[in-house]
Each structure stands twice: as structure tokens, then as C-alpha cells.
Amino acid sequence: MSLDHARLALADQGVTLLPGVVPAGMLEALRAAVAESRALERPMSRQVLYTHQPAPTDRPPLSALMDQWLSPFQHEGPGSTRAVADAVRPLAEGLLGEPGVLFQDLLLVKRRGQKAFPWHQDFGYWPVDRPLGVVLWVPLQPSDGESGALRFAAGSHRLGPRPVVDLHNGRPQQAGADLAFDPTAWPTFAPTYAAGDAVAFTPTTFHASPAMVRPGERAAWSCIFLSPQVRWCHANAPNHPLCRVVADGAPITEHPHA
Ligand SMILES: O=C(O)CCC(=O)C(=O)O
């Protein structure tokens, strides 16, 4: 599929599969980043981001769902994903149709016993003012539903921003908020990913991943490139760690946010 076709599919469906776009060397580098993050005991995210209030005390740690390292591209040397993020930038910019600002990336490892990730949009977790950007999700081995591969509600980006979800229970974080999203109302796009496939989706496309039921683990890497039109907006996710370092209202910049 050409990049133009993929950009149109992304606009229309909110998601598009990009077969064979990630070379073996990049997958190897990302697997090495997972191994290095573990070997160096880099801290994993301890909890789901509760965007507007402290984590409720009765919630388990994030490791009930997944092992996650936030923004490994910001590190230098071993375990850094910076080179891979730089290498996929042209793809992301081709999909955006404009220059991209690398906002954050994630290493995401799912093992048997960890729970399913519920339906959610990503935009509500970010301290930015508009959902203009593209998320690339790259499984580091062939993946399907039984290994907890990411799936999508095709077209659901048309709902626009909906309340941010508590990933431990799939309900809105804010008491009384109405998610107004029914996954059965949208066609489910649940690819079987071959090695080297990636999927692109928008910040408001609802997505979820089932529990891993195979032995071993499912590792994935995701990265987010935003439009340069986007501005920091602390009010969208005041508890995001970047709110401590970026100026509210300023155009977004890349790490180190000087
Ligand atoms: O990798 C996964 O299974 C879920 C990741 C996800 O949904 C996210 O990071 O927003």
C-alpha cells in the first residue's frame, strides 16, 4: 500500500495496517531496548496515569496489566529507542502530511496472567490541546489476539475526544462521566501481525488488547508523533509528568523541551 493510500485510510478509518514497514534490524534494536531496560533496572511505569487525581488507593499496580517503560527515546546509549524513533519519523510524517514532533514512546510487554487492556482513546492521557497526530504500534514478534495484539474500533475516531478511561476497569476516570462508546457499534479491526508489520492510528481511535494466553511474552513498541500545530495544555492531563517541564499554552517541542 502506498503512503498516500495509507494516509487516506487513516483519515477514513482511524487506523491502517502497514505491512512489512519495520526492518528486522529495527525489531532487533527494540528487543534489545526491552532487554537493556530490564538489565539496567530502568523504572517501569508504576501505575496507570490518573490524569486529574491521585491513583485510587484500591487499584493494583500497572503491572497487573502490562510492564511498561515510558519514553525510552529520552535515554542516551543502551536501552535508548531514539535511533528507531528517528528511523520511523519519515513514515509518521508521511501519514501526518506535515512535520512530526516526537511526543513520547513506550515499550509494552504483556505476559500470561496480566489482564486485558480495555477500550480507550489515547488523547485524554496527553497534556496537549488537540488530537492531531499519529500513533505507530509495532509488535516485536508475530502477534494475534491470543498474544494480546492491539485491536481497533474502526471509524471510532469520528466520536472525537471522549472521557479518559481507568485502564483497570474500562470506566471513565471521572465519576459521573459517560464514555458513550459501544465497541459493538463499530467494526472491530483485529489484525494478525507478521514480523515487521506496524499499525497506525489516530489519538481518538478506540483500541484495546486482549489478555495474552500463550506462553512467553508479547513485546511491542509504540511512538507518537504530533502535529506542530499542537500546543501544550496542562488542563487536558495535569498529572502527566511533562506538565512539570513544559510551558502551558506553548507550541509543543521535542525532548529536552528547551
Ligand atoms: O500494547 C498494548 O497492548 C496496549 C497499548 C495501548 O493501548 C496504549 O499504549 O495506549
For 50-54, what is the mean pLDDT? 97
Domains identified in the chain, total number:
1
254: in domain: no
148: Cβ below 6 Å to ligand 1? yes
Please tell me whether the overall predicted TM-score, pTM, comes out greater than 0.85 for this model: yes
105-162 pLDDT per residue, tens: 999 999 999 999 999 999 999 999 999 999 999 999 999 999 999 999 999 999 999 9
79 CA → ligand 1 middle, Å: 20
For 83, phi then psi, to 5°, come to -65, -35
224: Cβ below 6 Å to ligand 1? no
120 CA → ligand 1 middle, Å: 9
109: Cβ below 6 Å to ligand 1? no
C-alpha cell at 55: 491513583
CATH code of the domain covering residue 206? 2.60.120.620
108: Cβ below 6 Å to ligand 1? yes
Q: How far apart, in Å, do the first and last CA atoms of the chain sit? A: 38
Query: What's the rounded Cα separation, in Å, for the pair 111 and 96?
Result: 33
257: in domain: no
106: Cβ below 6 Å to ligand 1? yes
